[in-house]
């Protein structure tokens, strides 16, 4: 991706308006061969990521090259298929699999004002400025429906379509005829519908309760639509982790996880594939080509599902995001040729069953960290947790969005505890508020509000939905407090208890303290940053809890420059006044050499790895390896550091060969301030308790 993405989008928009049509049969802009590059879900038009090259040594040379199938015009006779592979098929068969990842929140909130704010091209508004519903419907009708057309014409084929529960709701509510077709194909075994989250959340940043709620809503969405859920599991942005596998094993032990090969290849670059893997007790498939004496597989498509039928154009191009029949027919012909040549174009879960029928035993997956499907281009999960995008970095506010969601989440969890505790005394308004608060929170947690390249509208989508979630929950909690006649409520969301109190509990007393470890500001972006330390004890001891606050004031002169620009008569709007380059703010703390100590997202306990446990890609040494630390807990020199996620919930990074842990924000704009808060202690039990408060807090409800 390049820094000229905005210009590229504008040029692309202009070219598509002039050149694209629904029935262009001449071009085949996709390589749908055996090794399709994983791509990111973003405003990523026309850029080649290249991550896929890391896996080349492990891929077998005799997989079907479906890209060699000639293009076919819509009304022309189909060209001949390539020669079938020589030799007999292995006993488990030759399998061709797919993963079409769909996301109706691809442009979260829609494209209204996109032309003016993101492209600085108001004249393009008639072509780009679509409402949220219009973008959602276009994804369903222009990119999802064409795949159903292919399957209906070819009953011998099957595809895997991944979509969130919310997309199923929209199909049921707004596209009933399409739902009937989808249901018929699913019942015939031609469609494998993979889903595990209701909104396309960046769920690695949160806890198990959030995923439980999201999964429950997903099940309800599929039940309301009378659609079967597949055992196959893939997720937004290819999120994957051993804690997620643990959670899934407890909820869906028969499921089959699909792990992006780029993620595993980043941590184990020499890994040779095999039919099945095991992570935390779960079966896992890697989308890499495999041929052995038992079974053969390849993926014909592993990408954003929105891209195939529209000629690689994604929903950010507005009204130019339309079905192009030539692309649909070319892909269909390639599938037909594969079937004709003896390949089974089938479902992932069926492939797993076929492998096990041949005696294949899943092998333990070598170590990796929580991550996404493009660990090089997005620096692991950093792009959603402080990493700046390439298109609109001045629009981004990662820490503001995610801490707004974290604070709202605490209120929603408190309401989620209080309403069941009320039992029959809970009112219909209480239950409706809880339902609304969860729905708004899950929307607000969407990945696209913070990465890969969110524009202003998507940033606001996250802020507004999480803001509403918090407001709804707080109002309902206050109503419950008043009805109970309590001066305050103390709600322990971990123990699931509600206690009436005669007064709010006293705040902890903190005393100035000397730093217990070196916390170094390695990049201050020209700000007069200040770090202060305090402790809970006047006379700190070995098990004392310390608190560090890092305050980043605005960069000198940034607000004045901005105000002066706004006052200029030639200024079109505030987006023309982002005058300064955003420099990252970074802190580093020492760690034990080589040690990587953290708790994977959704995991029940911490893990400890050494850098020698990995066979890292070269990019890891350039950019570091990054994870989420959803509960804020990370091992550092002499103890444990816990980020307070309601004030700072950025990614955590380890630089191989350097004994430091790093936190950075590349989205803090010069005219804004921020304050990060950490806890530090050498006591493991105290550290884990503090970390638990990030995920399962104790919330006090009292009059403001």
Q: How confident is the model at residue 245 (pLDDT cuts 50, 70, 90)?
A: very high
Contact call for residues 356 and 276 (beta carbons, < 8 A)? yes
Q: Are residues 563 and 436 in the same domain?
A: no
Q: Is 431 exposed, middle or buried (0-12, 13-18, 19+ CB in 10 A)?
A: middle
What's the CA gap between 453 and 389, in Å, rounded? 5
Q: Are residues 458 and 522 in the same domain?
A: no
Choosing from 501, 527, 550, the residue where a domain stops is 501
Q: How confident is the model at residue 541 (pLDDT cuts 50, 70, 90)?
A: confident
Angle formed by the axes of helices 325-340 and 145-153, nearest 10°: 40
pLDDT per residue as tens digits for the range 188-221: 999 999 999 999 999 999 999 999 999 999 999 9
Give the whole-number percent of the chain exceeding pLDDT 90: 83
β-pair partners for 159: 191
Q: Which of 158-167, 568-577, 615-624 has the lowest mean pLDDT?
A: 568-577
Question: Is 506 inside any structural domain?
Answer: no
Sequence-ordered strand ranges (E) for 18-118: 94-101
Contact call for residues 576 and 118 (beta carbons, < 8 A)? no
CATH of the domain at 352: 3.20.20.370
Q: What is the mean pLDDT of residues 315-321?
A: 97
- Say if residue 30's pLDDT is above 60: no
- Say if residue 60's pLDDT is above 60: no
What per-residue confidence (pLDDT) applies to 279? 97
Question: Is 382 inside any structural domain?
Answer: no
Q: What is the mean pLDDT of residues 556-576?
A: 82
pTM: 0.91
Q: Are residues 262 and 360 in the same domain?
A: yes
What per-residue confidence (pLDDT) applies to 108? 98
Question: Is 361 inside any structural domain?
Answer: yes
What per-residue confidence (pLDDT) applies to 62? 37
Give the whole-number percent of the chain exceeding pLDDT 70: 89
What's the CA gap between 216 and 439, in Å, rounded? 12
What per-residue confidence (pLDDT) applies to 621? 96
Q: What is the mean pLDDT of residues 559-587?
A: 83
Question: Is 388 inside any structural domain?
Answer: no
Let me know how many helices (H) and strands (E) the chain has, helices first: 18, 27
Q: Is 472 exposed, middle or buried (0-12, 13-18, 19+ CB in 10 A)?
A: buried
Contact call for residues 333 and 72 (beta carbons, < 8 A)? yes
Question: Is 383 inside any structural domain?
Answer: no
Segments forming the whole domain that contains residue 626 = 511-701
Sequence-ordered strand ranges (E) for 171-273: 191-194, 232-233, 256-258
What per-residue confidence (pLDDT) applies to 75? 59
| 49 or 345, higher pLDDT | 345
Q: Are residues 463 and 526 in the same domain?
A: no
Q: Are residues 116 and 232 in the same domain?
A: yes
Q: Are residues 271 and 404 in the same domain?
A: no
What per-residue confidence (pLDDT) applies to 564? 87
Q: Is 345 left (phi over 0), alpha (psi -120 to 50) or beta?
A: beta
| 36 or 240, higher pLDDT | 240
Q: Are residues 299 and 421 in the same domain?
A: no
Question: Is 385 inside any structural domain?
Answer: no
Q: Are residues 325 and 411 in the same domain?
A: no
- Say if residue 16's pLDDT is above 70: no
Three-class SS state of 455? coil
pLDDT per residue as tens digits for the range 406-453: 999 999 999 999 999 999 999 999 999 999 999 999 999 999 999 999
Contact call for residues 380 and 241 (beta carbons, < 8 A)? no
Task: Supply angle C-alpha 509, 512, 514, rounded to 5.
Answer: 135
- Tokens at 228, concatenated: 């079967």
Q: What is the mean pLDDT of residues 374-398?
A: 95
Question: Is 384 inside any structural domain?
Answer: no
pLDDT per residue as tens digits for the range 260-280: 999 999 999 999 999 999 999
What per-residue confidence (pLDDT) applies to 66? 43
Q: Are residues 18 and 104 in the same domain?
A: yes
What's the CA gap between 293 and 641, in Å, rounded? 49
Q: Are residues 521 and 487 in the same domain?
A: no
Q: Which of 79-83, 481-485, 520-524, 661-665 has the lowest mean pLDDT?
A: 79-83
All residues at 6 or more sequence positions from 201 whose CB lies less than 8 Å from its CB, including other chains = 210, 214, 236, 442, 445, 446, 447
Q: Are residues 184 and 298 in the same domain?
A: yes
Q: Are residues 198 and 71 in the same domain?
A: yes
- Name the residue among 41, 43, 39, 49 with its Cα closest to residue 5: 43
Q: What is the mean pLDDT of residues 545-558?
A: 96
- Tokens 């704009």 label which residue? 669
Torsion of CA 185, 191, 194, 199, to 10 degrees: -50
Average pLDDT value for the chain:
89
- Say if residue 659's pLDDT is above 50: yes
């Amino acid at each position: 991706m390049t820094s000229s993405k905005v210009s590229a989008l504008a040029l692309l928009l202009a070219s598509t308006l002039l050149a694209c049509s629904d029935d262009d049969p001449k071009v085949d802009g996709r390589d749908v061969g055996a090794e399709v590059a994983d791509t990111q879900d973003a405003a990523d038009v026309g850029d080649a990521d290249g991550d896929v090259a890391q896996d080349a040594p492990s891929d077998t040379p005799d997989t079907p090259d479906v890209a060699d199938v000639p293009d076919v015009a819509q009304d022309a006779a189909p060209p001949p298929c390539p020669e079938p592979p020589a030799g007999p098929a292995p006993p488990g068969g030759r399998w061709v699999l797919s993963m079409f990842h769909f996301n109706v929140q691809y442009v979260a909130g829609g494209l209204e004002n996109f032309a003016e704010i993101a492209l600085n091209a108001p004249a393009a508004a008639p072509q780009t400025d679509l409402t949220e519903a219009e973008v959602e419907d276009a994804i369903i009708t222009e990119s999802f429906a064409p795949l159903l057309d292919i399957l209906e014409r070819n009953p011998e084929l099957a595809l895997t379509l991944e979509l969130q529960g919310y997309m199923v709701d929209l199909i049921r509510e707004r596209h009933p005829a399409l739902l009937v077709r989808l249901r018929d194909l699913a019942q015939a075994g031609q469609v494998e519908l993979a889903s595990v989250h209701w909104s396309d959340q960046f769920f690695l940043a949160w806890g198990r309760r959030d995923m439980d709620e999201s999964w429950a809503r997903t099940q309800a969405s599929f039940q309301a639509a009378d659609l079967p859920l597949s055992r196959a599991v893939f997720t937004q942005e290819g999120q994957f982790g051993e804690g997620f596998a643990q959670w899934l094993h407890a909820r869906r032990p028969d499921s089959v996880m699909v792990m992006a090969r780029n993620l595993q290849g980043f941590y184990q670059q020499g890994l040779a594939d095999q039919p099945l893997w095991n992570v935390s007790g779960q079966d896992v498939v890697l989308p890499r080509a495999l041929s052995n004496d038992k079974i053969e597989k390849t993926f014909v498509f592993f990408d954003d599902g929105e891209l195939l039928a529209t000629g690689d154009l994604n929903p950010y191009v507005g009204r130019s995001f339309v079905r192009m029949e030539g692309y649909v027919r070319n892909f269909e012909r390639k599938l037909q040729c594969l079937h004709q040549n003896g390949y089974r174009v089938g479902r992932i879960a069926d492939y797993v069953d076929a492998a096990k029928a041949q005696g294949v035993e899943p092998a333990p997956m070598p170590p990796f960290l929580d991550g996404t499907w493009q660990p090089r281009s997005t620096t692991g999960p950093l792009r959603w947790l402080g990493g700046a995008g390439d298109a609109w970095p001045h629009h981004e506010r990662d820490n503001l969005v995610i801490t707004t969601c974290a604070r709202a989440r605490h209120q929603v969890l408190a309401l989620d505890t209080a309403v069941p505790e009320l039992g029959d005394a809970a009112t219909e308004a209480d239950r409706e508020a809880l339902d609304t608060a969860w729905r708004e929170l899950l929307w607000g947690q969407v990945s696209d509000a913070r990465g890969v390249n969110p524009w202003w509208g998507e940033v606001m989508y996250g802020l507004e939905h999480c803001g509403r979630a918090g407001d709804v929950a707080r109002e309902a909690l206050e109503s419950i407090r008043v009805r109970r006649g309590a001066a305050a409520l103390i709600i322990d969301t971990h123990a699931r208890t509600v206690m009436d109190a005669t007064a709010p509990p006293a705040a902890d007393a903190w005393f100035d303290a000397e730093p217990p470890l070196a916390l170094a500001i390695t990049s201050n972006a020209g700000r007069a940053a200040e770090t202060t330390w305090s402790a809970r004890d006047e006379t700190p001891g070995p098990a004392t809890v310390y608190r560090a606050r890092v305050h980043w004031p605005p960069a000198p002169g940034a607000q004045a420059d901005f105000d002066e620009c706004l006052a200029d008569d030639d200024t079109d709007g505030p987006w023309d006044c982002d005058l300064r380059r955003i420099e990252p703010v970074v802190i580093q703390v020492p760690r034990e050499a080589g040690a990587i100590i953290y708790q994977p997202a959704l995991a029940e306990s911490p893990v400890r790895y050494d850098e020698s446990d990995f066979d890292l890609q070269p990019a890891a040494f350039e950019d570091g390896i990054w994870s989420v630390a959803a509960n804020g807990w990370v091992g550092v020199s002499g103890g444990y550091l816990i980020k307070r996620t309601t004030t700072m919930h950025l990614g955590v990074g380890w630089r191989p060969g350097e004994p430091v842990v790093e936190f950075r924000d590349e989205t803090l704009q010069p005219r804004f301030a921020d304050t990060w808060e950490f806890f530090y202690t050498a006591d493991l039990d105290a550290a884990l308790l503090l970390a638990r408060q990030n995920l399962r807090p104790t919330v006090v409800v009292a009059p403001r």
